[in-house]
Amino acid sequence: MIRLQQLHKWLGLLIGLQLLLWLSTGLLLNIIPPAWFSADLHLQTQPTSEHVTSLNQDIRVSINDVVRLSSKPLSEIELITIVDRPAYQLTQLDRQKIFIWADTMLTTHTNQQALSIVSLSESQIQQIAHASYRGDAPLEPAKILNNPTTMPKGTLVITARDEVGTRIFVNRHSGNVIAHQNDRSDYQQWLLMLHFMDYNSDNGVSFNHVWTQIMAVLSLLFAISGIRLLLHQLRKGHFWPLRKNSATVNLYHAGQFIAQLNGRSGVMLDNINRYAGQGKGLITQCGGGGQCGLCALQYLTNPPAPSKHDIAKLSARKLTQGYRLSCQHIVSNADLGLSSHQLSQWYENDSKMNKQT
């Protein structure tokens, strides 16, 4: 039962922490206006790659050349422009996209023809980034992404020195602006990650990922252990309303009578604390879990048989002297001895109660 109590507490802590995160991040995401989080705060909506509408382009690579020279079978070929030059967007059967110049055919050292893969220069990438940025801040040189997993291969990042740290992601093969991001959108992503427990970067967009499954199992265990502990408490006679006023408890300190209280349902600890009013009562650390030993009282007559919690927490001498953990024994007719420390707590609460009445 001790292990079950500990399991229940640790599960409660874990689930409680995540609930706190759900609540706090959900509140923040609702309170803060979505526009504040916008990643497109400085986005200039302007296409950088567009379909060719004029046939006056200098196209030197035919579709037949593309099909013949492509290293993989293609499902789609599209003629587009990249930085004002004609290019082909090739879609492979695995949906991978390749971009080749339509105005350039390469010749290898063995005199073979080869397609010219688009790979934009630093200045062209800067030009595309500038065109997509409507702020006034200067842009830093393009950098290769350290963690390119979420962006297409060949994507570079250009950072603007503005108030929100705008980052522009440009792909050097397609010439496309993949995305704008900034410090505020990072903050939103961070809140969303905590809210949806999206702790793995490759969780995808589904909410039904491994962390929610783990949390669901932990919550189920928490509920089962809670029910099990409740049944245990009921079996021990706690929470039975019919036991109300079924016993009389006399409190003593150093042989001196302190008070008499009518026993009610529950354990001795509950009754003493209830009698002591709204204050602290006997201060414990485990709240009745049989773990801290701070609720030990001396039965001056007829001590009940020690429970396993008594045996675990109290010495053999104390057990012989009638000490028991008051959180582990239901209320009964008894004379109980309070220690000086317990008496001071009890008096403190008693006086508080008197002040209130």
Q: Does 215 bind ligand FES (CB under 6 A)?
A: no
Q: 250: closest CA among 345, 349, 336?
A: 336
Tokens (6 digits) for 164: 């929100």
Q: Does 105 bind ligand FES (CB under 6 A)?
A: no
Q: Does 229 bind ligand FES (CB under 6 A)?
A: no
Q: Which helix (H) or strand (E) holds 72?
A: none
Tokens (6 digits) for 268: 């001795």
**Which one of the spans 53-61, 197-205, 212-220, 288-296 is the region binding ligand FES (CB under 6 A)?**
288-296
**Which one of the spans 68-76, 125-133, 214-222, 281-289 is the region binding ligand FES (CB under 6 A)?**
281-289
Other beta carbons less than 10 A from residue 343's beta carbon = 18
Q: Which is nearer to ligand FES, 198 or 270 (CB)?
A: 270
Kindly state the smallest distance separating residue 228's Cβ from ligand FES, in Å.
19
DSSP state of 100: E
Strand bridging mode 177-181 / 49-51: unpaired
131, 292, 300, 319: which one binds ligand FES (CB under 6 A): 292
Interface positions, 304-333, toward ligand FES (CB under 6 A): 325, 327
Phi (first) and psi of residue 138, to 5 degrees = -70, 150
Q: Does 294 bind ligand FES (CB under 6 A)?
A: yes
Q: Which is nearer to ligand FES, 83 or 294 (CB)?
A: 294
CA 114, 115, 121 angle in degrees (round to 5)? 120
Q: Does 290 bind ligand FES (CB under 6 A)?
A: yes
Write down the residue that tokens 């916008």 correspond to: 38
Using an 8 Å Cβ cutoff, are 160 and 168 in contact?
yes
DSSP structure string for 244-282 = TT-EEEEEEETTEEEEEEEE-SSBHHHHHHHHT-SS--S
Kindly state the smallest distance separating residue 225's Cβ from ligand FES, in Å.
19
**How far, in Å, CA of 77 to CA of 51, rounded?**
12
Kindly state the smallest distance separating residue 328's Cβ from ligand FES, in Å.
7
N residues, the chain: 357
Q: Does 79 bind ligand FES (CB under 6 A)?
A: no
Q: Does 194 bind ligand FES (CB under 6 A)?
A: no
Tokens (6 digits) for 83: 């930085």
Q: Does 336 bind ligand FES (CB under 6 A)?
A: no
Q: Which is nearer to ligand FES, 193 or 292 (CB)?
A: 292
Q: Does 284 bind ligand FES (CB under 6 A)?
A: yes
Q: Which is nearer to ligand FES, 166 or 284 (CB)?
A: 284
Q: Which residue is nearest to ligand FES (CB)?
A: 327
Kindly state the smallest distance separating residue 212's Cβ from ligand FES, in Å.
35
Task: Provide the residue type at 259 as one letter.
Answer: A
Residues lying near ligand FES in the complex (CB under 6 A):
269, 284, 286, 288-295, 325, 327
